[in-house]
Amino acid sequence: MRTRILGKGALVAASLGMLLTATFGCDQSKPKCAAGRGAFIAQYRPVGGPPSCAALKGEVIGFATYNAEGSERRPNLDVGSIAMQSESLGLLVENAEAADLHDPDPNNKPYAFGLFSTPEPENDFCVVPTLTVARQNLPAVAEDEEHEIHEQEATNQSYEWRNVRIYVTPSAYGTQFTADLTLTTNGVACQYNVIGMYPYVPCGHEDPADPDKQVPDDGACEAEPNVAAGRPTGSGINPDFPTRCDPELLACTLTKDTIPALR
């Protein structure tokens, strides 16, 4: 599975050199609001829309944290923001761009962007109440095998994120989140409650009985290495997080419906 985290140039344009640097004083001051940078796995639980909405169980969401520019062009750690982009929308944009096709409206962006409501977590949570809408209106793409361009129908898709809550403590620094999402594709709107975890770890392996089939492997989610099982390194997931290999997403996910999800 290819992972497209944050559209080409999209987040870079938000401002290079303004990435969050976590700083901790000798007195163990509270961490600043931030999210794990990179790929989260998000589980979608439908709460509105047609029955077809239930078919989408989740996907990879890319996160990045930024800070406003402060004095002497240094990051202002008291003004933080996040950008979020789905892998699936990123892949649609990437495929269209390979064919030199783009959304005709330059104001539409494939990522959502919003400000933290506080510089530091309150009761271990940082909140982004509202974000800009991630939206792309892409023309149809014809297949071009020579240039590895896939056929793609015309797609008008938007992600409207609200109430993003990120769990931020020194031991779990922005690596779990919840949110409300309205995902609209070609006029069909689906509402979801979302719970997500960082990092995204695929956990499917080849079925010995069927090489074309992937089956879940809970062992791939373990934080500790298991050389005997062919895992010389751990998953990279916080060992305090209860996880399993989701049989449909074939990714390691939290086993609880609320955060903080801890053992």
Residue 239 lies in a domain: no
The confidence score (pLDDT) of residue 70 equals 86
Residue 235 lies in a domain: no
Residue 230 lies in a domain: no
Contacts 24+ apart (CB under 8 A), 148-156: 148/98, 149/95, 149/98, 149/99, 150/95, 152/92, 152/95, 152/96, 155/92, 155/185, 155/186, 156/185, 156/186, 156/187
CA Rg value for the chain: 19
The confidence score (pLDDT) of residue 184 equals 98
Residue 124 exposed, middle or buried by CB count within 10 Å (0-12, 13-18, 19+): middle
Residue 36: count other Cβ atoms within 10 Å of its Cβ.
23
Residue 3 lies in a domain: no
For 236, phi then psi, to 5°, come to 90, -5
Residue 228 lies in a domain: no
Residue 86 lies in a domain: yes
The confidence score (pLDDT) of residue 29 equals 78
Low-confidence spans in the chain with pLDDT less than 70:
1-28
Say what the alpha-carbon torsion angle 88, 166, 29, 67 is, to the nearest 10 degrees: 50
Residue 162 lies in a domain: yes
Could you give the number of structural domains in the chain? 1
Site of tokens 């929308």: 89
The confidence score (pLDDT) of residue 77 equals 86
Fill in the DSSP letter of residue 31: P
Residue 107 lies in a domain: yes
Alpha helices (H) in the chain, listed in sequence order: 87-98
Domain that holds residue 142: 12-197
